[in-house]
Structures are given as C-alpha cells and as structure tokens.
Amino acid sequence: MTKIRIPTPLRLYTEGQSSVSVSGTTVGEALSDLTQKYPDLQQHLYDGEKLRSFVNVFLNSEDVRHIHGEKTAVTPNDTLMIIPSIAGGRPRIEEESL
C-alpha cells in the first residue's frame, strides 16, 4: 500500500498518525482513500472537488503539480508527502493580543 506522510498540523485529524497506508493507483485515489479513512481531513485538503492551492503533495521527492497532478500514477512502494505551509509556533495572533 502507498504510504502518505501526514504533517504535524494535520495529525490532529488522523488520530495523531504521522503516516497512513492507503490504496489507489493515482494520487487522487490515494488522497480520496485517506479522506475516507479520516473524513475530517476533507475540508483541510479540498475546496469542493479541488485540492486546495496551499496543499502541496509530493510523490517521493517531486511535486505532483509538475507530474500529472492528481492523475499521477502511484505504486505501493511510493511515498506521498503532504507539505503544509507553517509560519511558526506562536498561538494565533488575535488570540494572543486579547
């Protein structure tokens, strides 16, 4: 099964799992299996049908946007990584400043 690496900010929605094994023959199918296993992830990864623009998915070391996007083929030996944008560890500023 293909492995998907889950970044820290999203582990809240995967019961703390840092890596999830999924089935599927394309990046899109693999991600869809992931969101079926962990439905709370759906709104963080997708805006409707579309992968959110700030969600970066890498197949092994390559950005899938530069291959065939969600149609990119995956094999059970591949590792997908979701790379989040992180800014720092401070609490949200509007909370901080209250």
Partner 1 sequence: MTFTELIDPAAIELSHEEVQRYSRHLIMPEVGMAGQKKLKAASILLIGAGGLGSPLAMYLAAAGIGRLGLVDYDVVDYTNLQRQIIHGTRDVGRSKLESARERILDINPHVQVDGYEVPLTSANAMEIIEPYDIVIDGTDNFPTRYLTNDACVILGKPNVYGSIFRFEGQASVFYAKEGPCYRCLFPEPPPPGLVPSCAEGGVLGVLPGTIGAIQATEAIKLIIGQGDPLIGRLLLYDALGMTFDEVYLRKNPDCPVCGPNPTITELIDYEQFCGMPAHDRSLYATAGGNGTDVPQIAPLALNRRLDAGDELQIVDVREPHEWEISNLENLGAFLIPQNEILEHLGELDMTRDIIVMCRSGARSANVIRELQKHGFKRLLNLEGGINEWAREVDETLPIY
Rg (CA), the chain: 14
Residue 94 host element (H or E)? helix 93-96
Shortest distance in whole angstroms from residue 5 CB to partner 1: 8
- Of residues 52-91, those binding partner 1 (CB under 8 A): 52-54, 56, 58, 61-63, 66, 81, 83-91
Shortest distance in whole angstroms from residue 11 CB to partner 1: 9
- Of residues 23-52, those binding partner 1 (CB under 8 A): 43-44, 52
